[in-house]
Amino acid sequence: MNYIKIPMDIEKKSFQIIGEEMGSHNFTERELAIVKRVIHTTADFKYKDIIYIREGAIDSALSLLKKGTTIYTDTNMALAGINKKALSKLNCRVECFVAREDVAKIAKDREITRSMAAVEKAVEEGVEFFVFGNAPTALFKLKELTLLNKAKPKFIVGAPVGFVGAEESKKEIEKLDIPMITIRGRKGGSNVSAAIVNALMYMITR
């Protein structure tokens, strides 16, 4: 059988097809790199219309990545999807706080979701780069802590997916004056979150 076998060739060709099919847009070149990677991951052109990239968000993300930051994720899937070679080149690290044993204990003791406990723990440990692909409650919690001046996030990917709370959680987080990229409505997910982070890292590493 005759088919393209080199992963980088496949990616290049895919991005070309996406560019041809996505039609007119007003994205900058850097924004486009993010949008295309999200479409590449989902084969869903709808993301072109529902992604929100706040002015200055890319610069904030890149400056965190350049100084070597810890990235918070709310699922092991998002963690798995974030490119480890690029992370390592940047001296960054990623941690799924939700999967930690101490976080599970706090959640159980206080009858809150693991995601909420995870955000508290991450804030305590000084995390500034937050990636949410799953848990709406975590976004509500981060907003709460930010308004109380207990959290100072410098960049947020807000992309929980789902039918209960996801859309509302993204509307709420957008009310904060913080650099962020969100997926509006019900869509999003771990794969989408990881694609956004990868696109940002590749702006520096590739």
114 C-beta neighbours (distance < 10 Å), count? 21
Q: How far is the CB of 16 from a second copy (least distance, A)?
A: 9
Q: How far is the CB of 141 from a second copy (least distance, A)?
A: 9
Residue among 80 and 203 whose Cβ is closer to a second copy: 80
Residue among 181 and 192 whose Cβ is closer to a second copy: 192
Distance of CA 129 to the CA centre of its chain: 9
Q: For 165, which DSSP code?
A: S
Catalytic (active site) residue 40: yes
Residues 156, 133: Cα–Cα separation, whole Å:
11
In the complex, the residues that contact a second copy under the rule CB under 8 A are 1, 3-7, 10, 13-14, 17-18, 40-44, 75-77, 79-81, 111-113, 116, 136-137, 140, 144, 161-166, 168, 185-191, 194
Q: How far is the CB of 60 from a second copy (least distance, A)?
A: 26
Burial class of residue 112 (count of CB atoms within 10 Å of its CB; 0-12, 13-18, 19+): middle
Q: For 99, which DSSP code?
A: G
Question: What residues are paired with 132 via a beta bridge?
Answer: 158
H or E, element range at 78: helix 76-81
Q: How far is the CB of 56 from a second copy (least distance, A)?
A: 27
From 22, 27, 40, 186, active-site residue: 40
Residue among 6 and 206 whose Cβ is closer to a second copy: 6
Question: What residues are paired with 181 via a beta bridge?
Answer: 53, 157
Which residue type sits at 98? Answer: V
168 C-beta neighbours (distance < 10 Å), count? 13
Residue among 31 and 172 whose Cβ is closer to a second copy: 172
Residues tagged active-site? 40
